[in-house]
Structure 1
Amino acid sequence: MSSDTAIPENDVTSSGLLALVISTLRLKAPELLPAEIVMPDCALAHAPASIKRRLLTAAYEAKGAGFILDMGQRVKQIGFDPVMHVMLRSATPQVMAGKFQRFEQFTHSRHRCEMDADGEGGLAVRRFSVSGPPPVGVENLLIAGLLKAMLEEIGCREVAVETGCAPFDRFTLRWAAFMPAHAGSDPMGMEAQRAREPLKVYGVDEARPLARRVVRLLTADISRNWTCAEMARELGLSARTFQRRLKEEGTSLSAI
């Protein structure tokens, strides 16, 4: 994103999605990437959706729909993204679809996916907006390509996308077979990154010992709805001691 661009509350997208677009353009079409656009921090949840639309529209006009669909293939090269990490650890396509729909409530201000099984090897998707204008065609193509890539990563074979006509708000993904790939493993190399350098997630300073341990538990599976008691027990502390020590470090579980 532009280094001086504020993020509007009513028009945000996933930082991971914007990173996916930027990384693809850097590699395959650098002439379409304005100099003022910089890679977002994927450890932060949101980025301006307007920048994503601007880049996607330019890429679509210059390269076509296939180029946008193929952007999803770089999903593992965007760097640390806890949401993508959790979705790529899904045991089945149905589990992944459920996670995607839940996370979309937090990673995008307006746009949503409705997903339904279409036979044994298919997923019918409808894209819509909960408020304001509907997602534009290039945004729908990006999501279609991303879902295709994620299905392939978790073990779906010969995945095809049936997009229909613009604005591509209804599309179907089909696969020939499913063989679980790496559910429960580390598909995005998050554990390797943890070993190399401290993580900063949502502004939490991991130099604080207990906050650091909390962040690592949360990012291991952000789909888990931790309670204070569960987190304390996992860390070998009483709930009261856990809360007190976090307060001493200037934070809390809800803040993290």
Structure 2
Amino acid sequence: MVDDFASGALVAAVRRALADDGVAVEATPRTALVPLTVKRTLLAGVALLPLLRAGAAVLRERSDPMLAALCAASGPADLFDRWGRLERFTHSRHRVVVSEIGSDRLVAEHAGPPGEPPWPAEDAVILGLLTGLMGAAGARGLTVTAGAEVVYADGTFRSPGTDTARWCFTWSSLEPRAAEPAAGTGLAARARQMLASDLARHWALSQLAGDLAVSSRSLQRALHGVGGFTWLLATVRAEAAAELLRAGVHPLSVIGFTCGYADQPHFTREFRRRTAMTPGQYRSAFAPERPEKPEKPERHP
């Protein structure tokens, strides 16, 4: 299907992880988006166990803004909410559908369009990645099953069976992710730094005030001079998006997700309100040597 694309950064990271595991695979194009056919050529013929390990090993490259946004999740529920937003933002043809979530258990299925389920190899890569992300989100004593087979326990991956798309994650405890301390000298400066540290979060004034250990009323007063909480959050998001757009490396969908926008129209509308340009126009103006291809649907994060 020529209109299906995968994140070039994620595909390249999987290829490097497989090579580190001793699995010889062909190089992939150094582009922001990789056609589905190229991704599947990379995965074809690779055993599922190395693909599970490669998915988790991608987290070694968490400096990538998309991975950094996912790694900042405060727990399993937040992680899968972020993953779902990323899928929606990129119009992914495959979706992780959560059917049950509790204090120590999460059940999900990796699904595709009717009659077009993901390949087992694709299941394995995404399951490996989500397993690694669960650890980053604070899940301790993690056990993962695919179908009836345990594929991860005691920190080790195991070969899956034939049912690779139905997953169950269980954990013995959660280690809360501590908020990064803001080092700014004034409350408004500290608030800006705190927001910028995790733009993919569903921020609210009360949450920001709690992280800064001040009352919501005190924070409102401090932010009055910079336009208030909503204006400051929108400004910090636009600044971060502009920096990533100038780099000219990442797809617009990844930038929009990373910076906390709800979807592509929201990204376009809010960014244009502050720069008088759409994200695509801004990228063309500041990074003309790396043309974006936003017209084709961006799929499969």
Q: Same fold (TM over 0.5)?
A: yes
Compute the displacement of 1:141 (Å): 1.5
Distance 1:124 1:79, change over 3 A: closer
Looking at structure 2, the residues matched to 77 and 39 of structure 1 have their Cα atoms a distance apart, in angstroms, of 21
- 1:176 aligned residue: 172
Matched position secondary structure for 2:95: strand
Looking at structure 1, the residues matched to 282 and 55 of structure 2 have their Cα atoms a distance apart, in angstroms, of 43
Establish whether residue 242 from structure 1 lines up as the match of residue 290 from structure 2.
no
Q: Which has the larger radius of gyration?
A: 2
Compute the displacement of 1:167 (Å): 3.8
- 1:23 aligned residue: 16
How do 1:55-94 residues align onto structure 2 when only pairs under 5 Å count? 55-60=42-47, 65-78=48-61, 81-94=64-77
List per-residue Cα deviations over 1:62-98 (Å, max 9, x = no partner): xxx3322212332233465332221111122111101
Structure 1 unmatched runs, 5+: 1-6, 187-194, 205-216, 233-238
Aligned residue among 2, 25, 33 for 1:33: 25
Matched position secondary structure for 1:13: strand
Aligned residue among 5, 8, 28 for 1:12: 5
Matched position secondary structure for 1:83: helix
Query: Does the 8 Å contact 1:72/1:146 carry over to 2?
Result: yes
Sequence identity, in percent? 23
List per-residue Cα deviations over 1:22-46 (Å, max 9, x = no partner): 011221124x213xx23644xx3x3
Establish whether residue 142 from structure 1 lines up as the match of residue 136 from structure 2.
no
Distance 1:117 1:26, change over 3 A: same
Query: Does the 8 Å contact 2:56/2:128 carry over to 1?
Result: yes
Distance 1:75 1:222, change over 3 A: farther
Distance 1:183 1:48, change over 3 A: farther
List per-residue Cα deviations over 1:132-182 (Å, max 9, x = no partner): 521011111111111110010121112221012424111111111111235
- 2:248 aligned residue: 200
Looking at structure 2, the residues matched to 200 and 21 of structure 1 have their Cα atoms a distance apart, in angstroms, of 21
Query: Does the 8 Å contact 2:111/2:117 carry over to 1?
Result: yes
How do 1:113-152 residues align onto structure 2 when only pairs under 5 Å count? 113-130=96-113, 133-152=116-135
Looking at structure 2, the residues matched to 53 and 245 of structure 1 have their Cα atoms a distance apart, in angstroms, of 33
Query: Does the 8 Å contact 1:12/1:107 carry over to 2?
Result: no
Moved more, 92-101 or 110-119: 110-119
Compute the displacement of 1:48 (Å): 2.0
